[in-house]
């Protein structure tokens, strides 16, 4: 009988990946991934399309089985305990969830559904659940939208609701998979300000931001993981792992990393193998 993962190990890292390899047919998708997220750290994962970001996320959440290697959450390893309990420790916000939300579902019910890891919630709401969900919606700056149906929410409002939904389960790790996708520039800046507010929250889980855009990295992000062709080419504290050199290697194009007013930017400095210009 597999042991429960309900009780976290207090001294264990939030997440630990060792020797992770993923093969499908003759294709190696992830190759010897070793990564550790400690308490108090917030990470960004960067890399070009096809570098393995999505496959890594699916392995972290138990939706795909690696060829070899281990994934541990709070000291509990997939395959050695109930993976359903483990997955509850990891919240994920991705636009792919949006298609599964019923159009007529009020925002507060979408948030409550996160507690039960259930889409299209059919469980009757309790007063305690509604109070907790409303508190999270207010923290996200959208408490006034609690009764608004999913169909009539903007993209930015939906992303905030999905973050509140993930927080409803009190996860120890929160993955934000390209959360600014589809947002206009003004909505993106408002959303990034909310992410920064979330990261500074005392009870905030460890964050993992997955993005193509360095300008979406807020000051609260402490560490970076840079991928290329299924391999890690740099990882560690943001200032040392995220450089023009590592980004140039990842995207196979000459890039200069700029910093201005606590925000990062990129300058393309010439032609690389992947250039379409």
Q: Looking at 141, 169, 197, which one is the last position of a domain?
A: 169
Burial of 106 (0-12, 13-18, 19+ CB in 10 A): middle
Do 191 and 254 share a domain, yes or no?
Answer: yes
Cα Rg, the chain, nearest whole Å? 19
Do 26 and 82 share a domain, yes or no?
Answer: yes
Do 75 and 38 share a domain, yes or no?
Answer: yes
Q: What is the pLDDT of residue 116?
A: 83
Q: Which two tokens stand for residue 206?
A: 């460890």
Q: What is the pLDDT of residue 193?
A: 93
Do 191 and 263 share a domain, yes or no?
Answer: yes
Q: Is 3 inside any structural domain?
A: no
Please, what are the averages of pLDDT over each run of 10 residues along the chain (277 residues)?
Answer: 50 90 91 94 93 90 87 85 76 86 94 85 86 96 96 94 93 92 92 93 91 91 95 96 94 90 83 46
Q: Which two tokens stand for residue 219?
A: 């000051």
Identify the domain containing residue 155 by its residue range: 97-169
Q: What is the pLDDT of residue 174?
A: 94
Do 147 and 256 share a domain, yes or no?
Answer: no
Q: What is the pLDDT of residue 148?
A: 97
Q: Which two tokens stand for residue 19?
A: 């020797």
Q: What is the pLDDT of residue 125?
A: 82
| Number of domains composing the chain | 2
Q: Is 6 inside any structural domain?
A: no
Q: What is the pLDDT of residue 277?
A: 30
CA distance 133 to 168: 7
Enter the pTM of the model: 0.87
Do residues 214 and 257 lie in contact, with contact meaning Cβ atoms separated by under 8 Å?
A: yes
Q: Is 105 inside any structural domain?
A: yes
Do 182 and 118 share a domain, yes or no?
Answer: no
Contacts of 97 (CB under 8 A, 6+ apart): 119, 162
- Per DSSP, the three-state class of 23 is strand
């Amino acid at each position: 009988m597999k042991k429960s993962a309900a009780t976290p190990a207090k001294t264990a890292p939030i997440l630990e990946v060792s020797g992770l390899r993923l093969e499908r047919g003759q294709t190696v998708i992830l190759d010897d991934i070793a990564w550790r997220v400690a308490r108090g750290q917030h990470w960004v994962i960067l890399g070009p399309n096809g570098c393995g970001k999505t496959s890594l996320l699916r392995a972290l959440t138990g939706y795909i089985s690696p060829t070899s290697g281990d994934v541990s959450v709070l000291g509990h390893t997939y395959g050695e305990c109930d993976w359903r309990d483990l997955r509850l420790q990891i919240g994920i916000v991705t636009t792919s969830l949006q298609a599964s939300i019923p159009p007529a579902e009020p925002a507060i019910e979408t948030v409550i559904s996160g507690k039960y890891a259930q889409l299209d919630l059919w469980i009757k709401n309790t007063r305690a659940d509604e109070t907790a969900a409303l508190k999270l919606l207010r923290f996200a700056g959208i408490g006034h939208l609690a009764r608004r149906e999913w169909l009539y929410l903007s993209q930015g409002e939906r992303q905030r609701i999905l973050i509140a939904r993930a927080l409803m389960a009190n996860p120890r790790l929160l993955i934000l998979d390209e959360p600014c996708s589809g947002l206009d520039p003004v909505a993106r800046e408002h959303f990034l300000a909310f992410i920064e507010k979330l990261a500074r929250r005392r009870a905030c889980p460890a964050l993992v931001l997955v993005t193509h855009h360095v300008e979406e990295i807020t000051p609260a992000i402490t560490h970076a993981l840079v991928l290329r062709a299924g391999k890690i080419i740099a990882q560690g504290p943001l200032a040392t792992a995220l450089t023009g050199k590592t980004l140039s290697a990842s995207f196979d194009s000459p890039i200069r990393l700029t910093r201005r007013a606590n925000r990062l930017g990129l300058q393309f400095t010439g032609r690389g193998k992947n250039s379409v210009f």
